């Protein structure tokens, strides 16, 4: 499979097949620049080269299990490689840009108690080819160029850091996306946040904070037992300094759980002086057995006001694709009945 190889590797491949190295560069243009799905589309490549490639390789092994289009122009693909392990990606067109949301793992081992993906357990990391393949599959659906990528689909991207970095490198070098337009959202794995900071790339980092209080964050996100609030926010501060990029704190609002004024004030104290945004995300209802509910608009506004009056930059997630279950993990959950396979949190592999 060729998706996932960079230009140098495609040039080696062309040379190995007995063709000039620059044919590899042309191949990269077709695969990444034009999102070609097969060799038949590559019109300026010589027939013998196409035949030699087609006899040995496929461009991509990604198959679509399901394609949903929402009433507000969001496309969601459920993809797999023929092994029954499905993962999802979403195309999000806006007036000024086209963005996409990609998965990094099949399932997720982090076990957050509000998350459909977390409840379904964990299968495996996605390969570089599978990560870049999602982008290309979505680009084929989009008349406009996808300029922004967020890793907020299934999985915890920083548990798959090696493949994530290689995939982002290909998106940067071969597809031509800016690192500044790539967002990695993490549950808060401190060693990996530090590793990413050491790369000194201007990648936008978002932390799923969801509560400034350890006792509540522990309940929502088991990872907090390992890296509590002060520690992980400290790592975000270091990341901000190392990269010069503003960071984002995502804040899922759950009625009467983490949407109190006290917690809004505590967030303001926690992020004081840090160039950052707090992005409010009203809970997308999933039956997690916890009795969680979405707060009223009034409660969301009151929460927002407390933050803003303390000088915090606040954004609110505009909800899209509601009618096709475009929130984290929902469609794949419906498709495979993953809720039946819930695994124990004690199996969560946390590296220190
Ligand atoms: N694992 C990473 C990225 C994938 S989840 C992370 O947790 O950050 C992407 C975002 O969706 C996270 O902020 C996550 O907390 C949020 N999310 C998960 N379940 C949700 C739900 N039911 N409603 C709204 N947002 C949810
Ligand atoms: Fe995994 Fe993110 Fe869902 Fe938590 S919110 S279970 S880290 S995908």
Calculate the CA dihedral of residues 30, 142, 185, 329 and round it to 10 degrees.
Answer: -110
According to CATH, the topology of domain 63-347 is TIM Barrel (3.20.20)
88 is catalytic: yes
Residue 61 CB neighbours (<10 A): 16
Distance from the CA of 118 to the center of ligand 1, in angstroms?
9
Residue 121 CB neighbours (<10 A): 19
Strand order in 313-316's β-sheet?
63-69, 75-80, 87-93, 98-101, 148-151, 182-186, 204-208, 247-253, 276-282, 313-316
Top-confidence residue, 118 or 5? 5
pLDDT at 349 exceeding the cut of 70: no
Work out the mean pLDDT of the chain and round it to a whole number.
92
As a whole number of angstroms, the distance between CA 297 and CA 222 comes to 28
pLDDT at 87 exceeding the cut of 80: yes
Please tell me the residue having the least CA distance from ligand 1 atom 21: 284
Closest to 257 in 3D by CA, of 205, 225, 216: 216
Of 99, 105, 114, 115, the residue with max ligand 1 atoms within 8 A of its CB, to mutate for a pocket test, comes to: 115
pLDDT at 293 exceeding the cut of 80: yes
Please state the φ and ψ torsions of residue 185, each to the nearest 5 degrees: -105, 130
Q: What is the pLDDT of residues 28-59, one digit of tens each?
A: 999 999 999 999 999 999 999 999 999 999 99
What pLDDT band is residue 342 in, cutting at 50, 70 and 90?
very low
> Which ligand 1 atom is nearest residue 185's CA?
8
Please tell me the residue having the least CA distance from ligand 1 atom 23: 284
Q: What does 43-82 look like in DSSP terms, one character per residue?
A: TTS-HHHHHHHHHH--S---EEEEEEE-TTS-EEEEEE-S
Q: Taking residues 228-256, report their average pLDDT.
A: 98
Distance from the CA of 45 to the center of ligand 2, in angstroms?
43
Question: 300 is written with which tokens?
Answer: 């969301």
Distances (CA, A) of 1 to 159, 162, 315: 24, 19, 40
Helix axes 297-309, 261-270, angle to 10 degrees: 30
Q: What is the pLDDT of residues 14-28, one digit of tens each?
A: 999 999 999 999 999
Q: Is the CB of 327 under 6 A from ligand 1?
A: yes
What pLDDT band is residue 341 in, cutting at 50, 70 and 90?
very low
Q: What is the pLDDT of residues 206-229, one digit of tens each?
A: 999 999 999 999 999 999 999 999
Closest to 265 in 3D by CA, of 302, 297, 230: 302
Cβ neighbours for 216, distance < 8 A, ≥ 6 positions apart:
257, 258, 263
> Which ligand 2 atom is nearest residue 155's CA?
8
Top-confidence residue, 201 or 120? 201
Distance from the CA of 153 to the center of ligand 2, in angstroms?
9
Distance from the CA of 107 to the center of ligand 2, in angstroms?
9
Q: Is the CB of 312 under 6 A from ligand 1?
A: no
Centroid of chain to Cα 215: 27
Ligand positioned closest to the Cα atom of 221: 2
Q: Is the CB of 328 under 6 A from ligand 1?
A: yes
Distances (CA, A) of 276 to 108, 225, 244, 269: 27, 24, 11, 13
> Which ligand 1 atom is nearest residue 292's CA?
22
Please tell me the residue having the least CA distance from ligand 2 atom 6: 118
Q: Is the CB of 156 under 6 A from ligand 2?
A: yes
- Pick the catalytic residue: 88, 130, 156, 250? 88
Q: Is the CB of 252 under 6 A from ligand 1?
A: yes
Domain ranges of the chain: 7-56, 63-347
215 is catalytic: no
What pLDDT band is residue 334 in, cutting at 50, 70 and 90?
low
Level-2 CATH architecture, domain 7-56: Orthogonal Bundle (1.10)
Distance from the CA of 328 to the center of ligand 2, in angstroms?
8
Range 156-165 burial, b when 16+ CB lie within 10 A, else e: bbbbbbebbb
């Amino acid at each position: 499979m060729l998706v996932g190889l960079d230009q140098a590797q495609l040039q080696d491949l062309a040379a190995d097949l007995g063709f000039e190295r620059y044919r590899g560069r042309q191949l990269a243009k077709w695969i990444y620049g034009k999102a070609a799905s097969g060799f038949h589309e590559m019109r300026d490549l010589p027939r013998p080269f196409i035949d030699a490639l087609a006899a040995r390789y496929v461009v991509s092994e990604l198959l679509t299990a399901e394609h949903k289009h929402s009433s507000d122009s969001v496309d969601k693909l459920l993809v797999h490689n023929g092994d029954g392990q499905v993962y999802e990606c979403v195309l999000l067109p806006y007036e000024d840009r086209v963005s996409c949301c990609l998965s990094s793992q099949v399932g997720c081992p982090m076990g957050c108690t509000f998350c459909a993906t977390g409840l379904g357990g964990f299968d495996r990391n996605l390969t570089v080819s599978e990560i870049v393949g999602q982008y290309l599959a979505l680009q084929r659906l989009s008349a406009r160029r996808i300029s922004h990528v967020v890793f907020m689909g299934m999985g915890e991207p920083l548990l798959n850091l090696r493949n994530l970095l290689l995939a982002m490198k290909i998106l940067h070098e071969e597809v031509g996306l800016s690192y500044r337009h790539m967002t990695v959202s993490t549950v808060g794995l401190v060693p990996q946040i530090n590793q990413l900071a050491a790369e000194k790339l201007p990648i936008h980092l978002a932390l799923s904070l969801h509560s400034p209080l350890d006792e509540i964050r522990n309940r929502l996100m088991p990872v907090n037992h390992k890296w509590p609030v002060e520690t992980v926010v400290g790592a975000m501060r270091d990341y901000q300094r190392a990269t010069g990029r503003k960071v984002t704190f995502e804040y899922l609002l759950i009625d009467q759980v983490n949407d109190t004024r006290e917690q809004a004030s505590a967030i303001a104290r926690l992020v004081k002086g840090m160039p950052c945004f707090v992005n409010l995300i009203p809970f997308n209802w999933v039956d997690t057995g916890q009795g969680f509910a979405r707060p009223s608009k009034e409660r969301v506004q009151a929460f927002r006001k407390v933050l803003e009056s303390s000088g915090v930059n606040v954004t609110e997630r505009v909800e899209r694709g509601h009618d096709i279950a475009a929130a984290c993990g929902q469609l794949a959950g419906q498709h495979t009945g993953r809720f039946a396979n819930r695994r124990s949190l004690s199996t969560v592999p946390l590296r220190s």
